[in-house]
Amino acid sequence: MRLLVSVANAAETSAALAGGADVIDAKNPLAGALGAVSADVLREIHATVAGARLVSAAIGDAADETEVERAAGASAAAGAALVKLGFAGITSASRVGELITAAVRGARAGSGGAGGVVAVAYADAGRVASLPEGAFIDVAARAGATGVLLDTADKSGPGLRGLMTPRTLARWVAEAHDAGLLVALAGKLTADDLAFVRDAGADIAGVRGAACDGGRTGRVSSDKVALLRELCGPAKAGHYGRHDYVRHHYVRGVRL
């Protein structure tokens, strides 16, 4: 299982790399679950990674097709191989599909055709009036997403482990894999939760607070990242979806 570490700037990127993170995820933790960093900060993060790891970037919760296409394109152009977006406030499956499709257009345009989209479902969907995770997989696959992430929207509430039973989570992951999607799990994960995520069959475990001194609004610690990376186990080749560049374990030339 791969370890994704969310970073807010280039200094945190260096710490995450030193600790052995497999995926560097650009995110502003002060702006919510999917807060976006600026284009300048994303370029600095990408330059710090220097092709050594895959870079993803959060672009927030989608509402408008034109805006989400623009944001996805800008992030892809700034170096994000995958852009992540959520759908707080949207319970219509068709509307979620339209917004994912718009993001896919933007990511591909901004990257010369190589970028992808990770659509984010919330395990606490009821707290933010979002499409429930059970209805999410088919929508994401049909709209052209590369992968799905199951996260939590309310970072003051329970984490993923408190919201999903092992059996339910494993079934969700298996359904997403059957649909040809890369699967990431996050949501206030701690070191003690990584076996739970790994046993569910996830390709990627995403962390922020567990990798930081001082919680999710603190600073990434290379020592904490190293411990989390060890707990993830060997980074074996997993299920990388139906898309050619994912199936061959590369996104924009970076080995996943």
Catalytic residue IDs:
27, 84
Nearest to 220 by CA among 1, 29, 34, 48: 29
In this structure, are residues 149 and 119 in contact, taking their beta carbons and an 8 Å threshold?
A: yes
In this structure, are residues 124 and 154 in contact, taking their beta carbons and an 8 Å threshold?
A: yes
**Counting every residue, how long is the chain?**
256
Phi and psi angles of residue 117, each rounded to the nearest 5 degrees, phi first = -125, 135
State the DSSP H helix or E strand holding residue 96, giving kind and residue range, or none if neither: helix 93-111
Q: Is 143 exposed, middle or buried (0-12, 13-18, 19+ CB in 10 A)?
A: buried
Nearest to 242 by CA among 170, 149, 172, 147: 147
Distances (CA, A) of 69 to 59, 64, 113, 243: 10, 9, 14, 20
* Angle value at C-alpha 172, between 237 and 180, nearest 5 degrees: 50
Interacting residues of 249 by C-beta distance below 8 A, sequence separation 6+? 237, 240, 255, 256
State the DSSP H helix or E strand holding residue 83, giving kind and residue range, or none if neither: strand 82-86
